[in-house]
Structure 1
Amino acid sequence: MLDEGDGVTVWERLRQDLAARRNLDVYATVVVALGTSILAAFDIAPTSKIMSAILAVLAVLAFSTLATRSAVDEMARGGRDAGVRFRTDFPGDLETRRETSSDVYIIGVSLSRALETSYQEFEQNLQRGAKLRILLTDPEADDAAVSTQNKPTRPRPDEIRGEIRQSLRLLARLQADTSGRLEVRTTTSALKFGMNFVDASKPNALLCIQLYAFRQSGESRPIFALTLADGAWFECYRQQAEHLWAESSVVDLTAAPV
């Protein structure tokens, strides 16, 4: 029997389509075309009747083509505004979202640049009672874990460890200055991505993911944003973030890092 290459015969596919009422216009067109051909070959029906049947077949094909084109156009329009879209940089409103959020969770190897540029933002968040969670790579982790984030300058593992310790010192100062709801943990796992998780428990929750690359020029990318509307992908990364947090080590911010 004829096989379509996926283990399903033509007759089985025909049976499935008819049972599900799929592609009925195509099958009707095939039947009419075959019947018309037989009638014409044996001169059974007059030419006028055969021409009428051919026109009917053409009309069905034209309608089917229009329906398919409309469906494709609709998918194209929806694709511009839906689904996960890769980016080369973080969303422009990310800083504003963090500034106004009451619940922020950030993951990164050292987060040295983020802490330097957003220190005042984090300070204001903590002073107004917001919760801030920071997860860094443990400075005592192995070289593979420390070096997982691509950087244009390709720093040595010991240099990155120095950045992590400096970040921990900044975070200790931040906690001392604000006495806010700041929680810091470190992980020895090699992080596969950096993350900004904003408004985690709200309907407008936002996940910004930066996938870490290897020997890539410029910043690690791609970067993409996820919301609750992204369903399983949002939940996938949310769970990874929470598992990392649950299995990491609490940092005592009252003790200055070595």
Structure 2
Amino acid sequence: MPTSPDPRIDSHSKATTVSSGASRLGQDLRQGRNLDLYIAVTVAVVTAALGVLGVVDSSILAASTLAVLAVMAISGLATRHEVDGVRTALNRIAASETGEVAAERFLSSHPPAVDTEIATATDIAIVGITLTRTVRDMLPVLDRRLRAGARVRVVLIDTDSGANAEAVARSKKADTPEFYRNRVSATLDLLRVLASSGSSESALQIRLLPFVPTFGLLLVDADDVHGRIRVAMYQHRTLEPNPTFGLRADRDAWWYGLFKGQFETMWESAREREPGTGGHAARGGSN
């Protein structure tokens, strides 16, 4: 025979629920939360009561109803925005867990100065189109490193191969191949100044690419466990700065190895140029 629930337990449960509701109401009012909903409920209850008692006419009831509905709609929109914000935050957390990061945290249009990175380097490699500004800015530190016995390898385009015409087709700041021919010539003049700083004839090596690289590279002690690589992605027909990013041998093993290998590929694809005499040599590299 089924037993009836204990009325004392049921009344206690109801009392607990009411007490909890009152506590939540008081907390919301003290903290200013959900005030729009409480006002809407109050207006709705008072208007309904007055309507039942015949104190207000139908037009006031209709207006009050629309006002309450408007408040409810606004509250619903606010809730939806909050849910969207939570969803966005969760997506960011999920992306960070899978290795995805915001582009602003990875790419930079203003890379840090390289003097500090290469101040103690023993092996430096640079790839670029003309490298005029890069070599000019790095001239003092490259001179110091060469005098200290470091090896410096530089790769830029070969203007005798037609690469300068290819560079013009991709550029917005040049309209003739002579623009790149002059800039490469200026870079070679600067490197010629450095040639006497090396501890040996092979300390400074220059090679010329028969094509335009799609990205620039700066490798610092690339074979070392703490090696660094900075990559600059070259753009097409824009004056905006090139986005760059950095790689570390002890952190980005796979990508680090990829770009390190890319340098060696370009190095082997280029022909050697003697920095001291300005002449061309056949040894090393291929066209």
TM-score range normalised by the length of the shorter chain: 0.5 to 0.7
1:218 aligns with 2:240: yes
**1:192 and 2:214 are equivalent in the alignment:** yes
SS in 1 for 2:262: helix
Q: Equivalents in 1 of 2:246, 2:227: separation in Å? A: 10
Q: Which has the larger radius of gyration?
A: 2
The CA deviation string for residues 229-250 of structure 1, in whole angstroms up to 9 with x for no partner, is 2232222211111111012111
String of CA shifts for 1:184-239, please: whole Å, max 9, x gaps.
111102211111011111111111111110112232x2211112222322222111
Preserved CA contact (<8 Å) 2:173 2:239: no
Contact 1:207 1:234 in 2 (8 A): yes
**Counterparts of residues 82-231 of structure 1 (less than 5 Å):** 85-90=106-111, 92=112, 94-142=114-162, 143-147=164-168, 150=171, 153-154=173-174, 156-180=176-200, 181-219=203-241, 221-228=242-249, 229-231=251-253
Secondary structure in structure 2 of the residue aligned to 1:124: helix
1:43 paired residue number: none
Question: Cα distance 1:70–1:145, how it changes in 2: closer, same or farther (>3 A)?
Answer: closer
Q: One-letter code of the match for 2:245?
A: F
Match for 2:258: what amino acid? C
3-state SS of paired residue (1:100): coil
How many corresponding residue pairs? 189
Which protein has greater RCO, CA pairs closer than 8 Å, 6+ apart? 1
Q: 1:243 aligns with which of 265, 268, 282?
A: 265
The one-letter code of the counterpart of 2:276 is T
Contact 2:124 2:220 in 1 (8 A): yes
Distance 1:211 1:177 in 2: 31
Deviation at 1:162, TM superposition (A): 0.9
Q: Deviations over 1:32-86 (max 9, x none)?
A: xxxxxxxxxxxxxxxxxxxxxxxxxxxxxxxxxxxxx9997476477669xx811
Partners of 1:165 and 1:257 within 8 A in 2: no
Structure 2 distance, partners of 1:204, 1:172, is 30
CA distance in 1, matches of 2:252, 2:125: 19
- The amino acid across from 2:232 in the alignment is Q
Structure 1 stretches lacking a partner, 5+ long: 1-68
Contact kept, 8 Å, 2:146 with 2:197, in 1: the verdict is no
Q: Which residue of structure 1 aligns with residue 277 of structure 2?
A: 255
- Secondary structure at the residue paired with 1:209? strand
CA RMSD of aligned residues (A): 3.2
Taking only the aligned residue pairs, the percentage that are identical comes to 21
SS of the equivalent of 1:122 reads helix
Q: Please, which runs of 5 or more residues in structure 2 have no aligned partner?
A: 1-88, 281-287
